[in-house]
């Protein structure tokens, strides 16, 4: 039996027919990932089709002219949920009273670089942003770290924001999760939504372990194990794992740029599940604090586990959201 321990916290959000706008900051907002991401947030794909949004676009001073162009494009989309767009290079503006933070901006990974090569440059960035979250953001803010090395950057940001619960911080391994689902789906000749419960263990790096031992594939209406569906154990234990582990490097080699469109989609999936919960009987992969785990993982790390998130609607005006880190028993 594989037992996944629980760390849980609760947030109560008021909802009404005319909801108040939530404030969402995206860092690195002039970059290629953000360019693929912002439209989806602004049109309601992440926080809901009835949730107005104030978007704060944070980037470094040289990128402010580019942000002006991004603002114009968002305005020209004429999106009814988008109440305001605020471009800025100041953390005190970017993190003021925010409800959600998507930390994309970081030193970019280039061909031939390992994520460890990015660490030195990114420590300063995420320490500063963590301190700004601590000083200016709501204590209920949900923080998603995307910039690599995401696990380490998330840990730095969290430690720099001691007044915000550690459970409010997570890092992106949903891209690896989606890659794993897609590889299994293509192998089985089904769409990716027919594959569920793959697991990404560890870091968002080549050291991760993509795990399909508990994955299910829907074949013609019947759920079967991934091993029974694929019928090729050697592939699942070999090329499948290496393909997922090295997919980011393969994209860089082909595009000469890191993943953008797929990263933006994964960010949307991750934040939507935080906001609304995971589907019944399903879990997804997310880098979270390892406190309380039963696998011998040091507790003071950000580590990717299988995650379930539950939402309970108590009334039309009140929603209680339970975020449960890896709260599931798998046989």
Binding-site positions for NAD(+): 59, 122, 146-148
Question: How far apart, in whole angstroms, are the C-alpha atoms of residue 85 and residue 72?
Answer: 9
Task: Determine phi and psi for 26, rounding to 5 degrees.
Answer: -120, 120
Residue 204 falls in the annotated catalytic set: yes
Task: Name the β-bridge partners of 54.
Answer: 23, 84
| Options 177, 204, 270, 328, the catalytic residue | 204
Question: How far apart, in whole angstroms, are the C-alpha atoms of residue 38 and residue 254?
Answer: 25
Residue 94 near residue 132, CB atoms below 8 Å: yes
Question: How far apart, in whole angstroms, are the C-alpha atoms of residue 30 and residue 65?
Answer: 9
Work out the angle at residue 130's Cα, subtended by the Cα atoms of residues 92 and 284, and round it to the nearest 5 degrees. 120
| Binding-site residues from annotation for substrate | 109, 115, 148, 179
Residue 38 near residue 55, CB atoms below 8 Å: yes
Residue 70 corresponds to which tokens in the numbers above? 């991004």
| Binding-site residues from annotation | 59, 109, 115, 122, 146-148, 179
Catalytically active residues are 204
């Amino acid at each position: 039996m594989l037992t996944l321990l629980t760390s849980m916290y609760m947030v109560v959000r008021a909802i009404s027919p005319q909801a108040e706008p939530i404030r969402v900051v995206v860092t690195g907002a002039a970059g290629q990932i953000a360019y693929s991401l912002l439209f989806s947030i602004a049109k309601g794909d992440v926080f809901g089709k009835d949730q107005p949004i104030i978007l704060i676009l944070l980037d470094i001073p040289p990128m402010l002219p580019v942000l002006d162009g991004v603002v114009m494009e968002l305005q020209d989309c004429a999106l009814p949920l988008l109440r305001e767009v605020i471009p800025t290079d100041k953390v005190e503006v970017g993190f003021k009273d925010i409800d959600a933070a998507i930390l994309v901006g970081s030193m970019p990974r280039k061909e031939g670089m390992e994520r460890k090569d990015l660490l030195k440059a990114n420590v300063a960035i995420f320490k500063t942003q963590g301190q700004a979250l601590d000083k200016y953001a709501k204590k209920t803010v949900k923080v998603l770290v995307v910039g690599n090395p995401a696990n380490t950057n998330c840990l730095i940001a969290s430690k720099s924001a001691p007044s915000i619960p550690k459970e409010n911080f997570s890092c992106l391994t949903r891209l690896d999760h989606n890659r794993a689902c897609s590889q299994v789906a293509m192998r089985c000749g089904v769409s990716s939504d027919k594959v569920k419960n793959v697991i990404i263990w560890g870091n968002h790096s080549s050291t991760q372990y993509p795990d399909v031992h508990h994955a299910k594939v829907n074949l013609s209406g019947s759920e079967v194990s991934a091993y029974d569906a694929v019928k090729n154990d050697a592939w699942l234990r070999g090329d499948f794992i290496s393909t997922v582990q090295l997919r980011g490097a393969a994209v860089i080699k082909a595009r000469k740029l890191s993943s953008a469109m797929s990263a933006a989609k994964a960010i949307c999936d991750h934040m939507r599940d935080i906001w609304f919960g995971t589907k019944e009987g399903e879990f997804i992969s997310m880098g979270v604090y390892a406190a309380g785990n039963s696998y011998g993982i040091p507790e003071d790390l950000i580590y990717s586990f299988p995650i379930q998130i539950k939402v309970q609607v108590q009334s039309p005006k009140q929603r209680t959201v339970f975020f449960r880190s890896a709260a599931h028993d798998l046989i």
